[in-house]
Amino acid sequence: MVPNPLSSLVFVFFLNAFIPIYPCLAFTDPNDEFSIFASDIVSFHGDYSPPSPLPPAPPPHPPSLSCQGGLGGIGSLDTVCKLDSSLNFTDDVYIEGNGTLDILPGVVLNCPIGGCSILINMTKDFSLGQNATIIAGTVAVTAYNVSLSVGSVINVTGLAGDPPPQTSGTPSGVQGAGEDHGGRGASCVLDNTKLPDDVWGGDAYSWSHLQEPWSNGSKGGTTSKEENYGGEGGGRIGFDVTS
């Protein structure tokens, strides 16, 4: 059968007229990651908003101390390690093992430097004996079981490290305003020319992580230009009990 030249001409004309008007309908694969159909840029459900950035990776911890050589204890962190003497540290401490760590009664692990961390990660058990104490800016314990005896203390008072980079959290001026954390710090109006709504404490930060807070406290305000009377921010205490 001989093709009809007129019908071929009409088909070619139709194809050429169709492509410039709807090029994406003709050639775009909706499963293609570069397709405008798969892109949020052209959306019928509102303005484009970029995806949230990934949270920053946790900072690397130092190598683990050993039970006998690093901590002066008895035994092994992969079986049972018993600490029977107090220790003073001047830098971050990391303790890890497959066994149990027992801090015996009266023992003090002390790192009284702002931001200093004592991190303990034991596969089995961790115990803090009677009247034993840990002092540091951050104390974090991961263990299958955790026991805190009568009189034991974990103290992070005034030893906070840096707050998140978005804010200092410390109020400005000399109103003696409160520092903040999950919400604005409090402040009293000492200037009759200002309204209460115009006087604030420290900027809020970490409000989006209140369900799992892990930010340092911030410094309080002062009442003097010559002296800084603001209290230091509190540190962090965390337990991850896996049993």
Question: How does pLDDT run across 96-119, given as a tens digit for each residue?
Answer: 999 999 999 999 999 999 999 999
Q: For the residues 48-61, what does the mean pLDDT come to? A: 55
For residue 66, with 0-12 CB atoms within 10 Å meaning exposed, 13-18 middle and 19 or more buried, which class applies?
A: middle
Res. 41 pLDDT band, cuts 50 70 90: very low
Q: For the residues 83-102, what does the mean pLDDT come to? A: 97
* 204 alpha carbon, distance to own chain's centre: 15
Q: For the residues 170-186, what does the mean pLDDT come to? A: 56
Average predicted confidence (pLDDT) for the chain: 74
pLDDT confidence of residue 165: 63
More confident residue, 150 or 59: 150
Sole residue written with tokens 């955790």:
146
Query: 0.85 exceeded by the pTM?
Result: no
Question: Do 238 and 214 meet the contact criterion of CB atoms below 8 Å apart?
Answer: yes
- H or E segment and range at residue 185: none
More confident residue, 222 or 226: 226
pLDDT confidence of residue 94: 97
Dihedral sign computed on CA atoms, order 208, 179, 108, 92: positive
Q: CA-CA distance, 198 to 200, in Å (whole number)?
A: 7
Among 42-51, 57-66, 141-150, name the one with the lowest average pLDDT: 42-51
Q: For the residues 141-154, what does the mean pLDDT come to? A: 98
Share above pLDDT 90 across residues of the chain, in percent, rounded to a whole number:
42
Write out 165-201 in H/E/C secondary structure: CCCCCCCCCCCCCCCCCCCCCCCCCCCCCCCHHHCCC
Question: Which of 15-19, 202-206, 213-217 has the largest mean confidence?
Answer: 213-217
